[in-house]
């Protein structure tokens, strides 16, 4: 068990464990200590982080029935005799009720806001209809049991087609068609998005070029994770260049951005400088660089909370937090002037603003003097403003379709995934603007001005929500801009290639922007949010956000899976983010994933369940500790035609699997060779584990309709190998397990470098 870890930067983390292999204490690099106490069944009863304490109480069969937060506010839970969660009462007193059928399947709920939801299931337990205040939506499935269509109460129809192992390949809602083509290893290479088409080129398992049908291609050359070059025409961004423990980004030949990070992993300094031949890139934008012209320093307290920031223009900002970690005040001082923003929170943790009035369901009904009202689903229907009434019309799928104001009208189209694809603005009958949006999965890649012909392309780091900058393209050429961010990733400034500031802003705690300069109409705000003045709200992928209230204008579509406060943004907007408008998410960091192109893997196994049917499920897929590995030491081998049937192995396969086991441990339990031998005795070779298992390969082939599915061979310790063999010998795979095996056998981008040596 890991007891300490020191990063390359010297940050130290420590852990203590009990005899049941549960963490009882942790000290983070910033000195914050976390301690956990457990009951006799190893359920946590308290978690202390610094001075904040969470308490958990259990009843029945060790079901949690009460959680007390650090402020003393209580959330209650109730269950039926089968252990189904039937009631949740948040600390504000709102109750969410769930209903189950005789087979313990969820069939309905009454939400925190009193919205009634009811569903019907077929004999397979699949949802076939859902009734909401809008009416009844029906769902249909294909022969493989995959969702094939939806008919919404307002007449919208969505049809889906699937490719086994690659997800949906065609989604058509009659408004916007999305269709995707894949190469032989499962990488998307072409996608139609409504009126536009995107070609995607790959190199070494990474995207090398994205070529939309409108505007110039965006190219990315990744030499290493610390040298990424993004080009469009003559524009060049070079990202993630190391400088000691700091990182450097450059735009063109003149602009340098430097970022330093605190021991807690959060941004401590961001600075910009103009390049000079007299200063090496290694020292550019550092404190001693005479060409540094803009910077901000950030300081933190316990639990990674932002406590102050100092700007190059002399601005000093302090933050005060409560025991729950929520921001109570933001005090800004500059040139002798002091500005204080203060907030309070209700028992459930929702923010309270002086000029915002909430109704009995905790929904804003008056914001800055405006009067708001809602439809039966709880979506914003109208705002009565000083200039007149703004009306909002929504689809049953909760997409905002139309906004009618005293001065203009907005129409918007969405694809079957709920992504906004088109926006048109009218004054009377005159079309004054039309914008199309080209997407890369859940983020906007490019905006297309249908009237003027210009495009705006957003540049991001690979796998990151944060926007590095953007490129504006028109008939006159390309112009690029670099963004500066606060620690949460919110955009606070933008600069051109010569270092001239073209956008400057200050944000309130929950994201109201005060713009000091904007020569470009920069609309990026907090992470994956875009200000849309035509709509009067921020677009946040699945929902629309009102920063003046710190809330969304519709309830959380994830229901209980999202938040117990169905309209809240996040607890601390300087620490947490909500890039999809669904639920509070951790800032960047945390456990590494399996790797690009790796099959899905299960959650970390719970030792208390390893003797139940969960063992069967857990051992019939790449384990929690499965990994791609590296080019030098792959984490698995792709079986050839002989190996996939278990009739023999190449000598090189044995060597590769042994090297993977020695480097990464057992793919199921994660134990190293030393740990295995200390507990179970010495062993020679790592066991070669087929995934899916040999007993599931034929069933998976039958589902796929061919024998070209990829079978991967991972390192297994003797104990996990024996457990798997005993568990799988008890019964043949079910239909569901066969479908799962087929999905696991889908080719992945990483498989091309995991073939192993040729058979001799």
Q: Are 623 and 693 in contact (CB under 8 A)?
A: no
Confidence of residue 597 (pLDDT cuts 50, 70, 90): low
pLDDT per residue as tens digits for the range 560-572: 988 899 999 999 9
Q: Which of 187-191, 280-284, 365-369, 614-618 has the lowest mean pLDDT?
A: 614-618
Could you tell me the pLDDT band of residue 746, with boundaries at 50, 70 and 90? confident
Closest by alpha carbon to 507, among 293, 309, 751, 238? 309
**pLDDT recorded at residue 472:** 98
Report the alpha-carbon distance of residue 112 to residue 348 in Å, rounded.
Answer: 12
604: left (phi over 0), alpha (psi -120 to 50) or beta: beta
Q: What is the pLDDT of residues 342-383, one digit of tens each?
A: 999 999 999 999 999 999 999 999 999 999 999 999 999 999
Average pLDDT over residues 379-392: 98
CB-CB contact of 560 with 84 (8 Å): no
Burial class (CB within 10 angstroms; exposed 0-12, middle 13-18, buried 19+) of 23: middle
Query: Is the confidence at residue 758, as pLDDT, over 70?
Result: no
Q: Is the pLDDT of residue 704 over 50?
A: yes
**pLDDT score at 729:** 64
Cβ atoms of 491 and 260 within 8 Å: the answer is no
Domain assignments of the chain as residue spans, ordered by start = 1-50, 52-189, 197-379+440-561, 607-753
Residue 131 has pLDDT above 90, yes or no: yes
* Coil, strand or helix at 702: helix
pLDDT attached to residue 220: 94
**CATH second-level architecture of 197-379+440-561?**
Shell (2.180)
Report which of residues 340 and 245 the model is more confident about.
Answer: 340
The predicted model scores a pTM of: 0.79
- pLDDT value at 396 more than 60: yes
Mean pLDDT of 6-11: 80
To the nearest whole number, what is the mean pLDDT of the chain? 91
Average pLDDT over residues 387-392: 98
Question: Confidence band (pLDDT; 50, 70, 90) for 612?
Answer: very low
Q: Which residues contact 182 (CB under 8 A, 6 or more apart)?
A: 163, 166, 169, 188, 189
In the chain, % of residues over pLDDT 90: 72
Mean pLDDT of 229-235: 96
Inform me whether the pLDDT recorded for 135 exceeds 90: yes
* Tens digits of residue pLDDT in 645-701: 887 888 889 999 999 999 889 988 888 999 999 999 999 999 999 999 988 999 888
User: If you write DSSP's letter for every residue of 355-406 in order, what string do you get?
Assistant: TEEE-TTS-EEEETTEEEEE-TTS-EEEEEETTEEEEEEE-TT--EEEEE-S
Is residue 588 scored above 60 in pLDDT?
no
- Residues 173/418, Cβ–Cβ less than 8 Å: no
More confident residue, 222 or 465: 465
pLDDT-wise least confident of 115-124, 363-372, 631-640, 677-686: 631-640
Residue 411 backbone zone (phi > 0: left; psi -120 to 50: alpha; other: beta): beta
Give the confidence band of 204 by pLDDT, cuts at 50, 70, 90. Answer: confident
Instruction: Give percent of the chain above pLDDT 70.
Output: 93
Using pLDDT thresholds of 50, 70 and 90, give the confidence band for residue 749: low
Residues 489, 589: Cα–Cα separation, whole Å = 13
Contact 323/52 with Cβ under 8 angstroms? yes
- Please say if the pLDDT value at position 606 is more than 50: no
d(CA 691, CA 748): 14
Residue 414 has pLDDT above 50, yes or no: yes
- The CA distances from residue 112 to 87, 467, 557, in Å, are 10, 35, 12
Across the range 90-113, mean pLDDT stands at 96
Mean per-residue pLDDT, 419-431:
98
**Averaged pLDDT, 525-529:** 97
The predicted pLDDT at position 438 comes to 98
| Model pLDDT, residue 607 | 42
């Amino acid at each position: 068990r890991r007891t300490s870890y020191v990063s390359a930067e010297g940050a130290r983390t420590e852990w203590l464990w009990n005899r049941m292999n549960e963490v009882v204490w942790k000290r983070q690099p910033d000195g914050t200590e976390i301690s956990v106490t457990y009951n006799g069944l190893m359920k946590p009863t308290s978690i202390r982080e610094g001075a904040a304490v969470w308490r958990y109480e259990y009843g029945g069969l060790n079901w949690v029935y009460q959680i007390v937060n650090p402020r003393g506010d209580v959330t209650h839970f109730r269950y039926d005799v089968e252990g189904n969660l039937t009631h949740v009462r948040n600390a504000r007193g709102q109750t969410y009720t769930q209903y189950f059928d005789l087979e313990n399947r969820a069939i309905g709920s009454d939400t925190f806001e009193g919205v009634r939801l009811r569903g019907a299931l077929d004999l397979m337990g699949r949802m076939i209809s859902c009734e909401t205040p809008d009416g009844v939506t029906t769902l249909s499935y294909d022969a493989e049991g995959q969702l094939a269509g939806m008919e919404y109460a307002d007449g919208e129809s969505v049809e889906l087609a699937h490719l086994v192992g690659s997800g949906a390949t065609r989604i058509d809602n009659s408004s916007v068609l999305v269709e995707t083509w894949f190469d032989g290893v499962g990488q998307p290479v072409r996608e139609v998005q409504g009126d536009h088409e995107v070609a995607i080129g790959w190199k070494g398992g990474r995207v090398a070029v994205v070529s939309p049908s409108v505007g110039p291609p965006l190219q990315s050359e990744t030499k290493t994770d610390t040298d990424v070059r993004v080009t469009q025409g003559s524009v060049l961004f070079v990202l993630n260049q190391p400088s000691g423990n700091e990182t450097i980004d450059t735009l063109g030949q003149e602009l340098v951005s430097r970022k330093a990070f605190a021991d807690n992993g959060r941004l401590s300094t961001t600075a910009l400088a103009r390049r000079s031949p007299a200063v090496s890139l290694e020292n550019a934008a550092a404190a001693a660089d005479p060409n540094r012209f803009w910077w901000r320093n950030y300081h933190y307290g316990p639990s990674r909370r932002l406590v102050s920031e100092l700007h190059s223009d002399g601005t000093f900002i302090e933050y005060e937090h409560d025991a729950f970690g929520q921001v109570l005040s933001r005090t800004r001082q500059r040139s002798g002037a002091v500005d204080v923003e203060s907030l309070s929170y209700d028992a459930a943790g929702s923010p309270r603003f002086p000029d915002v009035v909430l109704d009995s369901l905790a929904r804003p009904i008056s914001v800055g003097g405006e009067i708001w009202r809602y439809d039966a689903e709880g979506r914003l229907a109208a705002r009565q403003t000083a200039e007149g009434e703004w009306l909002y019309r929504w689809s049953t799928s909760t997409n905002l379709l139309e906004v009618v104001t005293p001065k203009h009208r907005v129409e918007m189209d969405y694809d079957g995934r709920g992504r906004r694809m088109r926006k048109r603005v009218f004054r009377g009958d005159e079309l004054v603007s039309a914008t199309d949006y080209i997407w890369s999965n859940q983020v906007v890649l490019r905006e297309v001005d249908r009237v003027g012909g210009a495009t705006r392309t957003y540049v991001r780091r690979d796998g990151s929500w944060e926007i590095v900058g953007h490129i504006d393209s028109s008939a006159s050429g390309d112009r690029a801009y670099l963004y500066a961010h606060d620690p949460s990733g919110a955009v606070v400034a933008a600069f051109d290639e010569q270092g001239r500031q073209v956008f400057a802003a200050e944000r309130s705690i929950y994201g109201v922007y005060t713009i000091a300069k904007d020569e470009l109409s920069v609309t990026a705000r907090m992470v994956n949010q875009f200000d849309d003045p035509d709509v009067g709200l921020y677009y946040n992928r699945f929902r629309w956000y009102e920063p003046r209230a710190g809330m969304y204008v519709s309830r959380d579509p994830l229901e209980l899976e999202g938040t117990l406060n169905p309209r809240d943004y996040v607890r601390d907007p300087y620490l947490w983010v909500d890039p999809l408008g669904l639920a509070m998410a951790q800032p960047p960091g945390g456990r590494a994933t399996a790797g690009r192109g790796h099959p899905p893997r299960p959650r970390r196994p719970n030792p208390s369940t390893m003797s139940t049917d969960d063992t069967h499920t857990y051992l019939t897929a790449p384990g929690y500790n499965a990994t791609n590995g590296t080019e030098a030491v792959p984490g698995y081998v792709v079986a050839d035609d002989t190996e996939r049937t278990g009739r023999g192995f190449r000598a090189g396969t044995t060597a590769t699997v042994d090297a993977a086991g020695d480097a990464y441990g057992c793919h199921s339990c994660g134990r190293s060779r030393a740990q295995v031998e200390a507990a179970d005795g010495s062993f020679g070779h790592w066991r070669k584990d087929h995934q899916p298992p040999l007993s599931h390969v034929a069933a998976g082939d039958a589902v796929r309709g061919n024998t070209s599915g990829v079978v991967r061979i991972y390192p297994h310790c003797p104990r996990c190998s024996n457990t798997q063999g005993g568990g799988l010998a008890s019964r043949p795979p079910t239909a569901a397990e066969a479908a799962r095996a087929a999905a696991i056998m889908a080719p992945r981008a990483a498989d091309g470098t995991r073939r192993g040596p040729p058979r001799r």
